[in-house]
Structure 1
C-alpha cells in the first residue's frame, strides 16, 4: 500500500501537469484566433474534437482514470476552436481533398459504435484523428503564416504528460 501512494501521487501530478499544459496551449491559441492571427482549418478541428471526446470516453471505460480527463477537456476545447474559427476567422477555401478527408473521417466515426472493445474504438478513432490532419497540413503548406506552431509544440508536451498520468496502461 505504501508503494502505491507515491505512484498515485505522481499520476495525479502528471494529470495536473497535462491539464495545465492543455490550457497553456489552448488559451493563447484562442486569443490568436480571436485577433485574426491564426485561421485554423475548421474541418480538422471538428474532426479532432469529435474523435478526442470519444477517445476520452473509451479511455475512461478502460480504467485510464485521471489520465483521461485532460483528453476529455481537450476535446471540448477543440470543438471550441472549430466554433471560434467559424465565428472570428473562417477560412472557407475548402478544396476537394479537404472534403474527402472530412467525409472519410465522418464515415469512420460511426464505426466506433460497432466496436466491441475500447481498443478497437481507439484504433478507429486514431485513424479518424490522423485523417483530421489532412486539411490542416494542406492549408499549412498553402498558408503557413495562418497557423500557430507553438500550440502544436505545447500539445506534444501535454500528450507526454497524459501518457505518464494514465492509471492503467493498455493499448487503449
Structure 2
C-alpha cells in the first residue's frame, strides 16, 4: 500500500514538473520569458548531482522527479544561452557562479551524499541570486506560476521519498522555501512598479 502511494506521489511530482516546464519552455521560445542563463546552469548542475546523491541515500522513487527536473533544467540553460534570453552578467552574478563552482568539489572530496546535498543545496540557493536580482528590477520578466508549481512539485517529491533523512529532504525543502520567497518578492515588486 505505501509503495503505491509513494509511486503516486512521484508520478504527480513528475507530471507537475512537466506541466511547469513545458509552458516555461514555450515562453522562452516565444521570447515572453527571459531566464538568466547563469541561474539555470547552476540549477541544472546541482539538480542532476543532487538526484544521484538522493539515489545513493535511498531516496528511491522520490528522487525521480528531481532527476527529470535536472535534465529539463539543463535544457533550459541551453535554451537561455541559445535564445540570448538574459545573458547580462554582473559582478554579483559572477560571484554567485564562482561560489557555485567552488562548492562542487565537496561531492568528490567527501563521497558522502549528506555533505554533497548540503553543499549543492547551498549552491542551488546561490543560483537564485541572479534571478532574484533580475526579478527585482524586472518583475514582469518572470512567470510566478512557474515557481508556485515548483513549490507543489517539491512537496510531492518529499512525500514520494522512500527514506527520510536530511540527505533526501533538504534539497526539495530548501527549494520550496526559495521559490516562496521569490514569488513573494516578485508579487511585491509588481505592485510597487505599478503603483
Instruction: Give the TM-score normalised by the residue count of structure 1.
Output: 0.94
Tell me the residue number matched to 1:3.
none
**Hey, which bits of structure 1, 4+ residues long, moved more than 2 A?**
none
How much has 1:94 moved relative to structure 2?
1.1
1:151 aligns with 2:149: no
RMSD: 0.9
Q: Which runs of 5+ in 1 are unaligned?
A: 1-5
How much has 1:116 moved relative to structure 2?
3.5
Alignment match of 1:77 (pick from 72, 80, 97) = 72
Matches within 5 A, 1:81-96: 81-96=76-91
1:99 aligns with 2:94: yes
Equivalents in 1 of 2:135, 2:14: separation in Å? 27
Instruction: Give the TM-score normalised by the residue count of structure 2.
Output: 0.84
- Considering fraction of residues, name the structure with more helix: 2
Tell me the residue number matched to 1:114.
109
Tell me the residue number matched to 1:22.
17
Q: Which runs of 5+ in 2 are unaligned?
A: 168-195
Tell me the residue number matched to 1:42.
37
Q: For this pair of structures, how many residues does the alignment match?
A: 167
The 8 Å contact of residues 33 and 89 in structure 1, kept in 2 or not, is answered as no
